[in-house]
Amino acid sequence: MNTDNENVNLIFMEFEEELKKATNHYESELATIRAGRANPHILDKILVDYYGTPTPIPHMANVSVPEARQLLISPWDISNVKNISKAILASDLGLTPTDDGRVIRLTFPMLTEERRRELVKSTRKLVEDAKIASRNARRDAIEALKKLKKDGEITEDEEASYEKEVQKVLDETTEKFDKMMDEKEKEIMQV
């Protein structure tokens, strides 16, 4: 929103930045949920000791999807194959890596109905967390607008108008979260 009041513009910029952070976090969390198909992003949070530094697997190896339910991990330094395999086994992915000394293969088994429902439940928890973060950002923006009104920088009508605009932006973001959740649920439940 662009107004003549610099403080109002700042409030909206901070609000939209917080919504963007919540959206990006939600997207990255959704990407790590295993849905029965090979998804390289599930490896993003697995850290491997790489020359003394905890490093995500995609930063030390090429990860490809040769088949719909298989990941192929090709470390840039083949001396790290065992370390990567150990890190995957120690993670909560529930996958067993197989390696031939040069590359690692991860085969994704078909998900059971029960596991699919658990994943859908965790997806719904993620969307609720994202919505809570967004509502907190709305609360902060509205409090800042109330302070501007109290300080006499904006009128009561302007405050009401800005609050409606804040709510409109929040509603659009919430709708986006719901669409993302619906898409992920369809992906998870697809057999």
CATH number at residue 118: 1.10.132.20
Q: What pLDDT is attached to residue 113?
A: 84
Residue ending a domain, choose from 107, 133, 161:
107
Reported as a single tens digit per residue, the pLDDT across 11-40 is: 999 999 999 999 999 988 887 776 667 778
- Residue 185: Cβ within 10 Å count: 17
Does residue 184 share a domain with residue 157?
yes
- 90, part of any domain: yes
Q: What digits encode the pLDDT tens for the residues 67-122?
A: 877 889 899 988 888 888 888 888 877 778 888 888 988 887 777 888 888 888 88
Which residue, 92, 107, 122, sits at the end of a domain? Answer: 107
For the chain, the domain total comes to: 2
Residue with tokens 């919540």: 22
Q: What is the enclosing helix (H) or strand (E) of 105?
A: strand 104-107
pLDDT of residue 174: 94
Task: Judge whether 66 and 72 are in contact, CB under 8 Å.
Answer: yes
Q: Is residue 97 part of a domain?
A: yes
**Which pLDDT score, from 0 to 100, does residue 138 have?**
95
The CATH code of the domain that includes 65 is 3.30.1360.40
| Parent domain of 125 | 6-32+112-189
Mean pLDDT estimate for the chain: 87
User: With 70 as the cut, is the pLDDT of residue 4 above it?
Assistant: no
> Is 1 a domain residue?
no
